[in-house]
């Protein structure tokens, strides 16, 4: 019958495996690539925030309510980078329903946000 590893044995193994110089060398080596990837990934989301802010301004959404619609736009945009077609349509409709029931979001503004992100509003 196997003997369970006690915490001290687990720590001993971790301590032997963990070498700060190796970790530092790996992070140093990938830093330029990570910075480039971050720039490529963050700029579209920043542009999305500015565009959605304009849409919310034109619809009179102020204060903390802005955060819920920005969250909807970001979540939908992130998913749109991964899937398309019917899967994206179902996701968008489910996300809208979740935002309306959970956060009390206005369905009309949700449709405008979805339309901005996808270029259309899916129907059931």
Average pLDDT over residues 65-82: 95
For residue 17, name the pLDDT band (cuts at 50, 70, 90). Answer: confident
Average the pLDDT over each of 24-33, 66-75, 95-104 and give the range with the smallest value: 24-33
Residue 107 has pLDDT above 80, yes or no: yes
For 77-88, write each residue's pLDDT tens digit.
Answer: 999 999 999 999
**Is 44:80 a contact under the CB 8 Å cutoff?**
no
**pTM (predicted TM-score):** 0.73
**Is 80:114 a contact under the CB 8 Å cutoff?**
no
84-90-91 Cα angle (round to 5):
75
Residue 51 has pLDDT above 70, yes or no: yes
Rounded to 5 degrees, what are φ and ψ at 61?
-85, 125
Domains of the chain, earliest start first: 8-118 (1.20.58.800)
For residue 103, name the pLDDT band (cuts at 50, 70, 90). Answer: very high
pLDDT (0 to 100) of residue 1: 54
Tell which wins on pLDDT, 10 or 121.
121
Tell which wins on pLDDT, 5 or 56.
56
Break the chain down into helix, strand, coil percent, rounded to 5: 80, 0, 20
Residue 44 has pLDDT above 60, yes or no: yes
């Amino acid at each position: 019958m196997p003997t369970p590893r006690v915490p001290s044995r687990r720590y001993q193994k971790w301590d032997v495996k963990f070498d700060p110089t190796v970790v530092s060398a790996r992070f140093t080596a990938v830093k330029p690539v990570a910075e480039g990837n971050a720039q490529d990934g963050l700029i579209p989301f920043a542009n999305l925030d500015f565009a959605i802010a304009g849409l919310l301004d034109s619809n009179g959404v102020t204060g903390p309510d802005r955060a819920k619609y920005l969250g909807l736009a970001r979540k939908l945009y992130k998913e749109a980078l991964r899937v398309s077609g019917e899967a994206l349509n179902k996701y968008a409709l489910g996300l809208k329903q979740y935002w309306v029931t959970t956060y009390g979001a206005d369905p009309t503004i949700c449709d405008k946000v979805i339309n901005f992100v996808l270029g259309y509003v899916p129907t059931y």
